[in-house]
Structure 1
Amino acid sequence: MSPRELLDQLHPDMIAWRQDFHAHPEIGFEEERTSQLVAERLEQWGVEVHRHLGGTGVVGVIRGRHQSAGSNRAIGLRADMDALPMQENNGFAHRSQIEGRMHACGHDGHTTMLLGAAKYLAETRNFAGTVHLIFQPAEEGLAGAKAMLDDGLFERFPCDAVYAIHNSPDLPLGTVKALTGTTMAAIDYFTVVLRGRSAHAAHPHQGIDTVAIAAQVIGALNALPSRQINALESAIVSIGQIHGGTSDIVIPETVELRGSVRTLKPEVRDRVEMLFRRTVALTAEAQGGTAEIDYRRAYPATINTPEETARAAACAAGVPGVSHVLREEIPFWPARISRSCWSGAAEPI
């Protein structure tokens, strides 16, 4: 029986698994039920299971039945398990049963796909070497991958390469995107508290106007990518929140700005952070105010290595139903999220 025939037989079970995961979403580092089900299924199929990596992460180990020159090789297959803290408004039978929790980014599908691959590999073991099945918690902004790494993931389960996939509802059915190099942007977050001196709106000269400072800071930050970053490079600085003031006739003592920065290259990421800090501090100082800057590095860019990307693209092209494999496109700015995520109200990453 071919791999496709075996997976076709498994298809109804996989649909049931995904719908069950979808109906019981758990957010980052709270994936107790999800990781328990994953571990139990792996154990049922004879897979060696390791729990609690990075909190709620699970790793399964499958060793091939062939001995060859490649018997010492190992690869990782990775999927994320967490949902988003947002309300589901769908009406189908397997909609979320937990208020304020929803699998809006497709991780229920990712977990199911890796379970399907695990069952097939565990039953056939028609390969040489070892496959590590990495079920990651807390992908949505909480750095669950780092938690697993800090917990010794690759020391305990060394991999020559790691492969992963993300659903993309914005692509036509049957299309796969496999880009060499940077494919998803790095993202950093910032909170800036601008401090001045409160005054009556009729006497602004007696205060230090934090609203005016905020306007100038926003203008300067918007100009930063186009005027201080090479035009052949890429960076985005976006203000997502502005908070300040409680009265129409009082200039507030503080204004808070919050937002995110996206970059494609590590060196550009470093330069943007330096420029950001300098721009905010000096703009506030020029108006007599001060700035408290909390700049938080989150996820690095996803950078695909050439050999592994080419191998993945070639394999995808051989899958029945795949009609297009895109190899040359622009990177994906929203950093590890598909359109199904960021079209909602939440900003997961």
Structure 2
Amino acid sequence: MSAPDREYLLEGASINALPKVSLHDHLDGGLRPQTIVELADEAGLELPVRDAETLRTWFESRAHAGSLVEYLKTFDVTVGVMQTADALARVAREFVEDLHADGVVYGEIRWAPEQHLTHGLSLDQAVEAVQAGIDQAVAAVGAGGGFIRIGQLLSSLRQNPGQAGEIARLAVRHRDSGVVGFDTAGPEAGFPASTMRGAFDYLAAEWFPVTVHAGEADGLDSITSALLDGRALRLGHGVRLAEDLIIERADDENTYVSLGLLSQWVKDREIALETSPTSNLQTGAIAHWGETMADHPFDLLYQLGFRVTVNTDNRLMSGTSLSRELSLLADVFAYRLDDLETFQLNAAAAAFLPIEEREELIDRIAAGFDAV
């Protein structure tokens, strides 16, 4: 059984069965290997390996690259099979089915429409195809007595800043038909949010929510630009915010930390950090602190009161699931169910939903954990 399909237990409870919120999950990073094989056959695309399980291993082996740029290279394969309306709808449908199977009750799926036009789709047709797949899965879950709600986040590629305005307008056009927010994706270093300032100005004028990848492959300047130029309400990963923390001294029982102005701002305004622990190790995002999960600054940020959330980033490449990520953190930092509930409540509070719907989501999560 692959790691994403396993059941993970904590205090005798199934983490898989607990209600969870997924805020940072890339559509092209969550395909089923068998689906890739079948779609590649239909499209006549060459794959590095033909067997689905061997292909899964191939993706996972290349995820340990130590840099975001290298980590992103495997997406040429997944994006390559997602170039038609039928393929996009199928991938989106299965993506939601897999989230539901892992206990997710609310998820935001991010993807870059501009990468899916080589077979003649327009940007709007691509968005509509993904929404069709989402709607099919949500309806099927509901018909089976389950519950899940999904929103799209449209990503603009940082290396193509000239496209950002068009993707921003695309997102706003579809705000009443499934798109809940705007994102940036792609290589972070060298492409600050300021290069897309016009798009962010437009989104702000439209009162449209924004999250920005920042503090993953670049440091505090990138986070600053995300907040000032991008008006980001959340930080994609954001783990390098911990570079703005100064550990003044430690004794046997306590660590004393002071916050810089940037980290104090993020904490005080409860700007959510969309951390993805396994991915953060694989891309070298936490290299400043070490190379193991125990070195991840997640726990330090949590103990200091930052709004930390737990996410998968790319389930296929990282061989993971949200339940697995939570289990890994619980094992390393001795978290209990109450801590896992806090992470879900943090994510629910940061979701790009109206306040009334966020409160309903919070109630659903609390009820699920209370029932354990």
TM range (shorter): under 0.3
TM-score, scaled to structure 2 = 0.24
TM-score, scaled to structure 1 = 0.26
More helix by share: 2
More strand by share: 1
